[in-house]
A and B are shown apart, each in its own frame.
Chain A
Amino acid sequence: MSEIHIDRKVLSDLQEVMEDGYLQLLETFLADSEIRLSQLHGAKNADELAHAAHSFKGSSSNMGAVALAELCRQLEDRVNHGPLQGIEDLINQIDREYAAVRGLYCDERQRVSIG
């Protein structure tokens, strides 16, 4: 199964918009995402979980992390409409997907700093 982790077109559009701010955007996203993940894991109730999933979905879709955004959307949906069974599984998938894209964004960050 080939997944698209990051939509390259989105990244290039972002770089065009942000220009010199592209690097800062990447770094901000990475820092932001760590916070989002801990919110996901640390959620004490359904509302908090749904909120964290929603926000993460938004930011990752803006950054072109398509698969990650889709997983977050599923999580949000499951929290709001059920079934709640097996939801930890979904969260774990998110962890893994994020790990994958994080590497790609770090690579991107390096490419830009050198270039």
Chain B
Amino acid sequence: MNQVCADVEALSVLIAEDGAADRLLLATIVRKQGHQVLTAENGEQAVALFAERRPHVVLLDAMMPVMDGFEAARQIKALAGEALVPIIFLTSLSEEQALVRCLEAGGDDFLAKPYSPVILAAKIKAMDRLRRLQATVLEQRDQIARHHNHLLNEQRVAKAVFDQVAHAGCLSAPNIRYLQSPYALFNGDLLLAAYTPAGDMHVLLGDFTGHGLPAAVGAMPLAEVFYGMTAKGYGLAETLREMNAKLKRILPVDMFCCALLLNLSFQRRVVEVWNGGMPDGYLLPASGGEPQPLVSRHLPLGILAPEQFDDTTEVLPLALGERLFLLSDGVVDTSDENDQLFGVERLRRVLAANRQPALLFEEVLQALDGFRGRSRDDVSLLDIEVVEPQLLSPPPVIYSDSGQSSPLDWSLQFEFRADTLKRFNPLPYLLQLLQEIHGLRAQSGALHSVLTELYSNALEHGVLGLDSALKRDARSFASYYQMRNERLQALSEGFIRVHLRVEPGPRGGRLIIEVEDSGKGFNVSKVLARPVSEQGLCGRGLNLIRRLSRRAEWVDEGRRACVEFAWEALA
């Protein structure tokens, strides 16, 4: 005969049985097993007692007067709601039909007469285990729901902070069209665009590994670097190096950011491209036709150590009306129900077939819908048109200091020699310095453009000895820049001297810039005499420099450029 075991938890058991002797017997058996017993004579009493005392387990006689066991079971189950109250039917009903009725009414098990205490104990124990399991499940479900809401809320807050950091930049420029999902941040998708001080545009389309908060968290420091350095006039290479180093340092080992960066100069009609792991971008010809892919040639950001990082960019010429089309990997990776990929071929066909630029996004999305059978809301698309620079108006820079502390009478000379020229871009520092001349701030854009042009001329045509005529057409363009990199790597001698002189004048002041290189020089008058259109891609942008400054001349057989800016005193 079973004894009360030490590890049995005392439960409250409801026994509903209309036979008095049977009821007494059962109650005694259950009590001896260590449980607390409630008894009822019929179904109605059973339901009332259940509602009042909420026992853990219910033993129900199938056939009772007033309300039978089946109805009582249904009502008790309804009262129990989500919680599991095991119901064991007491029955000598052996017919299959009758047993089915028991189960349908909500019964969880049967106990046959004559009652076996051993079997009863086993059933109660098993039922109680189920009961506790259900209770645990419900509790955990509620806990999960609470955590889920908590996380959602945190994400909302994170997104609000991020939106401040990674503001839209210049995505609202008239020549830019873009599409980005509201969930982009938490898919790891990033779209940034900003004007450089010279009026060029830096654009970044990125894709962080992972989803949710981990993906979003890397985006913030990246955006800070991008916007900060772009605003200071740093080039793509330096910005890339800084972004890569930062991500490598702060992200865990298995996280990184695929990125495609563009440096668009509408003044010089060139675009510099760096693609690390993103799907091909495309250069779309002005009047339809085969798109030219901007292929990934680098590892994504945050993988390589700074010493191994490759910041080499590709430079392509641009023509008016051409467009740059960038997209995230959601497009090419879309698969249909047979696990076939949408793929690059289908995309290229859509691009080539497009006749109206304004409809390109719709055409791409429609092609995706049709292929997959469902729409996607998590792809990012970007379309930038090459326009005349006058159409774009970068917002004026807001300075935090007034005009009192402006240095007005000084000069400065730098000499950059071969080793430095290889790896250092002095422009951001020089420009930062010139920013201090408050009177010149209104011409900041022109100043940046001119200095950039002078420096690149001095380096490429002067020190590296590259023939500017090589930039005449698109094909030789690529080889020009390849040669530029090769020669720069191999550089062992040469210099560029930069001399800055600021002098006060009667009503304001003037800045004289001299840039001198160790190159062979060039035939100044010949180049200046060429018609403007010919100077387009090749030439040395001499007319641009002349246009933007007050005076510009080349002396010393073209080896030294002297450019002057002037300003009136601020009121």
Contacts and interface: CB of A to CB of B under 8 A. Distances in A.
Given A16-B1, A51-B63, A57-B92, A62 B28 contact: no
Given A58-B92, A61-B114, A18 B25 contact: yes
Interface in B96-141: 113-115, 117
B568 to A, nearest CB: 113
Contact of B63 (A21, A54, A64): A54
A58 B32 contact: no
A55 B21 contact: no
A64 to B, nearest CB: 8
Interface stretch (A23-31, A84-92, A93-101, A106-114): A23-31
Nearest to B113: A58
Nearest to A21: B28
A10 interface: yes
A61 B113 contact: yes
Categorize the interface residue count of chain B: 10 to 19
Nearest to B18: A55
B22 A17 contact: no
Interface in A36-91: 51, 54-55, 57-59, 61-64
Interface residues of A, number: 23
Contacts of B29: 17
Contacts of A54: 63, 92
A104 B18 CA distance: 24
A21 B22 CA distance: 13
B24 A24 contact: yes
Nearest to B95: A80
A59 to B, nearest CB: 5
Contact of A59 (B1, B22, B28): B22
Interface in B289-339: none
A63 B21 contact: yes
Interface string B257-285: 00000000000000000000000000000
B253 interface: no
A55 B19 contact: yes
Interface centre among B20, B29, B92, B114 (most CB of A within 10 A): B114
Interface in B1-19: 1, 18-19
Nearest to B115: A62
B25 A25 contact: yes
A102 to B, nearest CB: 13
Contacts of A31: 20
A62 B63 contact: no
Nearest to A57: B92
Contact of A32 (B1, B19, B92): B19
B113 A62 contact: yes
Contact of B19 (A10, A13, A58): A58
Contacts of A25: 21, 24-25, 28
Contact of B114 (A10, A21, A29): A10
B1 A17 contact: yes
A13 B408 CA distance: 115
A18 B28 contact: yes
Nearest to B62: A54
Given A17-B1, A17-B117, A58 B25 contact: no
A48 B19 CA distance: 15
B28 A61 contact: no
Contacts of A59: 19, 21-22
Interface of A: 10, 13-14, 16-18, 21, 24-25, 28-29, 31-32, 51, 54-55, 57-59, 61-64
Nearest 5 Cβ contacts at the A-B interface:
A29-B21, A59-B19, A28-B21, A58-B113, A32-B20
13 contacts: A17-B32, A21-B24, A25-B24, A28-B24, A29-B21, A55-B63, A59-B21, A59-B22, A62-B21, A62-B114, A62-B115, A63-B21, A64-B114
